Amino acid sequence: MLERPELEAFLTLSEELHFGRTADRMHVSTGRVSQIIRKLERRVGAPLFERNSRSVALTPLGLRMHEEVLPAARQLRTALHNARALAPA
């Protein structure tokens, strides 16, 4: 099971393909984003992103994981939105 920070960092970095912008969106440091992604990659057992000094890209494994995780993340966001809308004031 993905932890919430891992899910958020993975999906955001997958969209941004930039550690600085990901950190800005998450309101954390770039070091924290890097730490979360490294932890996730250790759990998976393989790199999810290719990085160099100029670019970040999803690996084929990272792309597949993104495609599989994204629908579930959208469902979670929708469920939370619906619960908030139905909650008594």
pLDDT digit string, tens, across residues 15-51? 999 999 999 999 999 999 999 999 999 999 999 999 9
Give the whole-angstrom CA distance, residue 58 versus residue 13: 9
Amino acid residing at 25 = R
pLDDT at 53: 86
User: Residue ranges per domain, the chain?
Assistant: 4-86
Fold (topology level) of 4-86: Arc Repressor Mutant, subunit A (1.10.10)
Give the whole-angstrom CA distance, residue 2 versus residue 33: 15
Host H or E run for residue 35: helix 30-44
pLDDT at 89: 78
State yes or no: pLDDT of 8 exceeds 90.
yes
Q: Which of 4, 89, 68, 72 is nearest to 39 (CA)?
A: 4
